[in-house]
Amino acid sequence: MAVKEDCIFCKIVMNETKSYCVGENVLSLAILDINPFSEGHCLVIPKRHVLWWHDLTEEENQSLFSLAKATAAKIKKVYKPDFVAMYARGRRIPHTHIFLVPTFKSDPLDRFFNALEGFQESPDMLVELKKSKSLEKTAAKLRSL
Ligand SMILES: [Zn+2]
């Protein structure tokens, strides 16, 4: 299993540092985020050191998202949030991780995404992208691959 010595998530996978494991399968691990947005905020990580989720192998991808879904089901059962938000990062800690955050109306994460939607509606450069001609061009670029 490829690990990186100075990576905190690799150390967790190797059991070299304390973590709060909430679930595991062959290729992935679900742990509590130690800087939670809310109680029950979890991270799901591949056991192999991979920077971005889209660089995972097909087997790792299935493992990671399967564990994410199972973990979200646990969060939903325990905390009864409106829903469990999911997003993938790898920037601050360069080992891809899926955030699973129990989300309630008007909590900090909800307000953050509402603010982001406000941002999305205002800049001129994004207004251009909403036009039908731009959307057709963008879809054609992605379809062509
Ligand atoms: Zn790592």
Domain ranges of the chain: 8-104
CB atoms within 10 A of CB 73: 11
135 close to 126: Cβ distance less than 8 angstroms: no
- Bridge partners of 100, per DSSP, are 42, 86
Q: Which residues are catalytically annotated?
A: 97
Residue segments in the chain with a per-residue pLDDT below the cut of 50: none
Amino acid 64: pLDDT: 97
d(CA 78, CA 89): 25
Residues 99/88, Cβ–Cβ less than 8 Å: yes
Going through 47-137 in order, the beta strands assigned E by DSSP cover 83-89, 97-103
Determine the distance separating the centroid of ligand 1 and the alpha carbon of 108, expressed in angstroms: 28
What is the pLDDT, as a whole number, of residue 85? 94
pLDDT at 25: 97
Q: What is the pLDDT of residue 1?
A: 59
Do the beta carbons of residue 131 and residue 124 sit within 8 Å? no
Report yes or no: 51 and 7 within 8 Å, Cβ to Cβ. no
Spatial separation of the C-alpha atoms in residues 74 and 103, rounded to whole Å: 14
Domain 8-104 maps to which CATH number in 3.30.497.10, 3.30.428.10, 3.40.50.1970, 3.40.50.300?
3.30.428.10
For 123, the 3-state DSSP assignment is coil
Residues with CB under 5 Å of ion ligand 1 are 4, 7, 9-10, 49, 95
pLDDT for 65 equals 97
Question: Could you tell me the pTM of the whole model?
Answer: 0.86
Question: Ligand 1 center to residue 117 CA distance, Å?
Answer: 32
